[in-house]
Each structure stands twice: as structure tokens, then as C-alpha cells.
């Protein structure tokens, strides 16, 4: 079974450099030895949290958990205490892998990337939960998305097929290691297919240009910054594929990448709950604004508001649903929410509005809810931020929205009502309680929030 060897090239390929982060490298044999030493420390735990800094220790930790069959819970390195406490409590993580911090309530296991163990672990079943990845909803605190080894493997294999991803590729990116894009595609994909990974720590145009890769991953904000730096973008012309995902790629950025590198970017679409499901192909059409067709094994369908199937004519809008082996196994401790997002026949309701044309090409048009914001490719729930703001002295009401932004796609703006002497200090409050990328970029104090006759805030009037 393919999925039983989730990290197949790492465990059975010839020894060569596996991962380089910030200039420091581990060969496959050394990564396996160091990760096995982690597995020795965590084996038997029900779940283990990983302080997912952009460092080799994160890769060693996650691989160690996978070897031992222990679900890994990646945590943003700048998670504030409110977010961290919730994730640790909800996941019941028993250990923390990585650098310690003052607000930890569980034992810290330091990760030594120079440690080696030769212990051997049984190949885990495909049903085993590999990762519990926390992601924002429209309201409340982030939910733990349970991802099985089967789901990860199915998505990665579908993408390898679409992109002709082989050991001859050198993968380059600098994305965070606590989300699907950077961790699943960007690390586990490289270890599954045996392409060396160069992680640039930060996804800057200069670092991408210097890395000499063949396959590059970025969110639209990264590509928008790349095309603004002409010398960097021209040096990416030698790459085989530039791949964009996690948010809509603006048409001018697509066009500039095409013009300045000589080839159009690959766009692909996914979610924490479904992994990556739809993509354009290395050998297929690349159409600006469109994300391609379902990868092998994945099915999609569009529902109209009335619940019937929408026409695939490239114009009729519908709610996108996904079926197939890449789906998650539910939200941890939250069967009601899981049931609410699934259809009776086992498809996942993405919350995205899309059109599909008669060739099966998909275009993501927007989201059903204004309360899920995508900023810099990060998914951020308005409710989570409003909750933090409302707990601050003087804040009587709060409404958080995403407004269009050339760099970030959407920029978080908080509207607050109350007696607030220092509105900008509210930005730091959110950065410290949740995480830095969830901070509003702007706080606007207003006399009242626009409400309808029922008293519901009309967020459409704020964006």
C-alpha cells in the first residue's frame, strides 16, 4: 500500500541531502537517525505538540512522530498564550517537541538534530492519524483537523502525477511549517518523492532566487513580491514549475510571472480539511484565475443554493463539495461540527463558491462566509479576533473584516465601538494572545456598527 510508506523515499531511497533549512542540511540517513531518536522519546504518547519553527528540528520532530505512529500537532512558533493553551488542552498533547517556553504546561522534550537511533518501527496503518492541524473557523477557537496517513499520501500522489514531481526536482519554499502548504506539500512531499528540499526560512524573492530549485511553492503574496523584484524573478526562469496556492492568485501576478519567467505558474487549490484536491497540470493548460481539475482519486461537485447540481458551464456559481480519499477524519472532539460540514453521502462542504467549465476546469470565486478571512495565505476567523478584542477594557462592540489588499489579498481590519484610548495597542493584544499573523493591520474606532433590523452586524458595509 503506497500510503503505508508515507515517507517512502526517506526510508528506502539512496542516501543524499534530504533537507536544508537556513543553510543547515541533513542527509536522509541523518534525518532518519535523528527522527528515530525522537520516535524513541515519544512512542506511546496519544499526541505530541511540535513547536514548528522554520528549522531542521521541526522536520526531525514531525518525522519522529510519524515513525512512532504518534499524531503530531504543529504549533505556530509565535502562538500566543490563548491560542497555545487552547491547542494543548484540546489536543491533549502529552509532550512538547522543540524549544521550551514559559507558558507550557506539558513536559518539553528538546530535539537534538545530532542524535541518532537505529531502532526500527513498524510501518503504521494508513488509518493512523498523522497530523492534527489547527485551523480557524468563522467563530470560536481553532479546530483540530485530523489528517490520516492515507489522506496525506493520496493528495501527495495526485499532485506528483499532476506535476511530474520526481527525485530529480529540487523543491524550494520558505512557508510556515504548521500548515498544509509548507508542511504537508513542502516537507512530507519532498520526503515521499525524494526531491531535496531547500527551505529559505522566510519566503523572500532574494532567497527564492538564490536557491537554484526546479520546483517552487508560494502563496500569492510571495509571488506578488517576487514579480515586484525583477532581478529575482528573472532568475526563476530556469525553474521547471512555479506553483501558487492557498489563496487566489491575482491575474496581473499570473501574467507578470508568465512574462518574466517565460512560463505560466501552476495553480492548485486545497484546504486543511481536504489537503490539496484540484490543480493545473505540468503538461496541461494553465489559465489565469483558474485552479485546474481534480487530482487523481478526488471528485468534486457544485451545488446550487436550492441544493441541485449546478451546470458545468463555466458561469453557474455553486457551493463546492469534495469527495475522495484526501478528506480529513473529522474535527477533534467536535463530532457536531464535523457532521455539519459533511453531506449525508460523505462529501465535504468546502464553504467555497466556484464555477466549473465543460472541460472540468475549476475557478474559485469566493467564500460563502465573510467571517473566514485569507490574509497572506493564512486562514483567519473573524470571531476568534473579535473574542479577544471584546475582552479588552473599554471595547463595547467589535467587528472584524477582511478588506481587499494588493499585497496580502485581504487585510484584517477591526472596527470597534467604545472608549478606547489607544486603538493601535489592540493590534498588539491580538498578536500576543493569538499569533502575529492574526493581528489586525488597522483598528478603526466608530460610533456604532451597521446593523440590520434584527440587530445583526452588516459586515458587507464594512469591507
**C-alpha cell, 286:** 494553465
Instruction: Give the DSSP per-residue string, 180-235.
Output: IIIIIIIIIHHHHHT--EEE-SS--HHHHHHT--SEEEE-HHHHHHHHTSHHHHHH
Here's the x/- map for ligand MLC, 175-204, by CB under 6 A: it reads as: xx--xxxx--------------------x-
Cβ pair 88, 49 in contact under 8 A: yes
For ligand MLC, the nearest residue by Cβ is: 376
State which of positions 289-308 bind ligand AMP (CB under 6 A): 291
Q: Per-residue x/- marks for ligand MLC, 317-356, CB under 6 A?
A: ----------------------------------------
Q: Contacts with ligand AMP: how many residues (CB under 6 A)?
A: 19
Residues 6/150, Cβ–Cβ less than 8 Å: no
Interacting partner of 175 out of ligand MLC, ligand AMP, none (Cβ under 5 to 8 A depending on kind): ligand MLC
**Residue 250 engages ligand MLC in binding (rule: CB under 6 A):** no
427 binds, among ligand MLC, ligand AMP, none (CB under 5 to 8 A by kind): ligand MLC
Gap between the Cα atoms of 300 and 347, Å rounded:
9
Assess contact for 35 and 10: CB atoms under 8 A.
no
At 349, give phi and psi (nearest 5°): -85, 110
Q: Where are the alpha helices (DSSP H) in 80-219?
A: 81-91, 149-163, 189-193, 205-210
Cell numbers 472541460 correspond to: 359
Q: Which cell is 320 given?
A: 463546492
418-427 long-range contacts, CB within 8 A, separation 24+ = 418/394, 418/445, 419/394, 420/392, 420/394, 420/395, 420/445, 421/394, 426/389, 426/392, 426/395
Taking CB under 6 A as the criterion, which residues in 222-241 touch ligand MLC?
222
Segment near ligand AMP (CB under 6 A); pick from 251-259, 269-277, 417-425, 445-453: 269-277
Q: Does 388 bind ligand MLC (CB under 6 A)?
A: no
Only segment of 2-10, 190-198, 229-237, 244-252 that touches ligand AMP (CB under 6 A): 244-252
Of residues 114, 112, 81, the one with CA closest to residue 97: 112
Q: Which residues, 319 to 338, sit near ligand AMP by CB under 6 A?
A: none
Query: Of residues 377, 381, 402, 440, which one binds ligand MLC by CB under 6 A?
Result: 377
Of 286, 303, 367, 437, the one binding ligand MLC by CB under 6 A: 437
Locate 221 and state its grid cell: 503574496
Q: Which is nearer to ligand AMP, 57 or 279 (CB)?
A: 279
| Chain residues in the site for ligand AMP (CB under 6 A) | 135, 180, 245-248, 267-272, 291, 350, 352, 364, 367, 374, 379
| Chain residues in the site for ligand MLC (CB under 6 A) | 175-176, 179-182, 203, 219, 221-222, 245-246, 270-271, 276, 376-378, 427-428, 431, 436-437, 439
Amino acid at each position: 500500500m503506497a500510503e503505508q510508506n508515507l515517507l517512502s523515499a526517506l526510508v528506502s531511497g539512496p542516501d543524499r541531502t534530504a533537507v536544508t533549512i537556513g543553510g543547515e542540511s541533513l542527509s536522509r540517513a541523518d534525518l532518519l537517525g535523528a527522527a528515530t531518536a525522537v520516535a524513541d522519546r515519544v512512542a506511546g504518547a496519544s499526541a505530541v505538540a511540535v513547536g514548528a519553527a522554520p528549522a531542521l528540528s521541526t522536520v526531525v520532530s514531525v518525522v519522529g512522530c510519524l515513525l512512532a505512529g504518534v499524531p503530531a500537532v504543529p504549533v505556530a512558533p509565535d502562538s500566543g498564550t490563548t491560542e497555545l493553551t487552547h491547542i494543548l488542552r484540546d489536543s491533549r498533547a502529552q509532550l512538547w517537541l522543540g524549544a521550551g517556553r514559559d507558558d507550557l504546561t506539558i513536559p518539553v522534550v528538546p530535539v537534538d538534530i545530532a542524535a541518532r537511533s537505529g531502532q526500527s518501527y513498524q510501518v503504521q496503518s494508513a488509518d493512523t492519524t498523522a497530523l492534527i492541524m489547527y485551523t480557524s473557523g468563522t467563530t470560536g477557537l481553532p479546530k483540530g483537523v485530523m489528517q490520516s496517513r492515507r489522506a496525506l499520501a493520496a493528495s501527495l500522489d495526485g499532485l506528483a502525477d499532476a506535476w511530474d514531481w520526481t527525485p530529480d526536482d529540487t523543491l524550494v519554499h520558505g512557508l510556515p511549517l504548521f500548515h498544509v502548504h509548507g508542511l504537508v506539500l513542502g516537507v512530507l512531499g519532498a520526503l515521499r518523492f525524494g526531491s531535496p528540499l531547500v527551505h529559505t526560512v522566510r519566503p523572500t524573492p532574494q532567497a527564492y532566487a538564490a536557491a537554484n530549485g526546479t520546483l517552487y511553492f508560494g502563496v500569492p503574496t510571495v509571488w506578488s513580491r517576487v514579480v515586484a523584484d525583477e532581478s529575482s524573478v528573472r532568475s526563476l526562469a530556469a525553474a521547471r514549475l512555479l506553483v501558487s496556492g492557498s489563496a487566489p492568485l491575482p491575474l496581473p501576478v499570473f501574467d507578470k510571472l508568465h512574462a518574466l519567467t517565460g512560463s505560466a505558474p501552476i495553480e492548485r487549490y486545497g484546504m486543511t480539511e481536504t489537503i490539496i484536491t484540484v490543480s493545473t497540470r505540468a503538461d496541461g493548460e494553465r489559465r489565469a484565475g483558474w485552479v485546474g481539475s481534480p487530482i487523481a482519486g478526488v471528485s468534486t461537485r457544485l451545488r446550487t443554493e436550492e441544493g441541485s447540481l449546478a451546470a458545468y458551464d463555466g458561469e453557474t456559481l455553486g457551493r463546492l463539495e469534495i469527495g475522495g480519499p484526501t478528506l480529513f477524519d473529522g474535527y477533534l472532539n467536535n463530532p457536531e461540527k464535523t457532521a455539519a460540514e459533511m453531506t449525508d453521502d460523505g462529501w465535504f462542504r468546502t464553504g467555497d463558491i466556484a464555477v466549473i467549465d465543460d472541460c472540468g476546469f475549476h475557478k474559485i470565486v469566493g467564500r460563502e462566509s465573510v467571517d473566514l478571512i485569507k490574509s497572506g495565505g493564512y486562514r483567519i476567523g473573524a470571531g476568534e479576533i473579535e473574542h479577544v478584542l471584546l475582552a479588552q477594557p473599554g471595547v463595547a462592540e467589535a467587528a472584524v473584516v477582511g478588506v481587499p489588499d494588493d499585497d496580502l489579498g485581504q487585510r484584517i481590519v477591526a472596527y470597534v465601538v467604545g472608549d478606547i484610548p489607544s486603538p493601535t495597542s489592540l493590534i498588539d493584544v491580538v498578536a500576543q494572545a493569538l499569533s502575529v499573523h492574526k493581528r489586525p493591520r488597522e483598528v478603526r474606532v466608530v460610533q456604532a456598527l451597521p446593523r440590520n433590523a434584527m440587530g445583526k452586524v452588516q459586515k458587507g458595509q464594512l469591507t
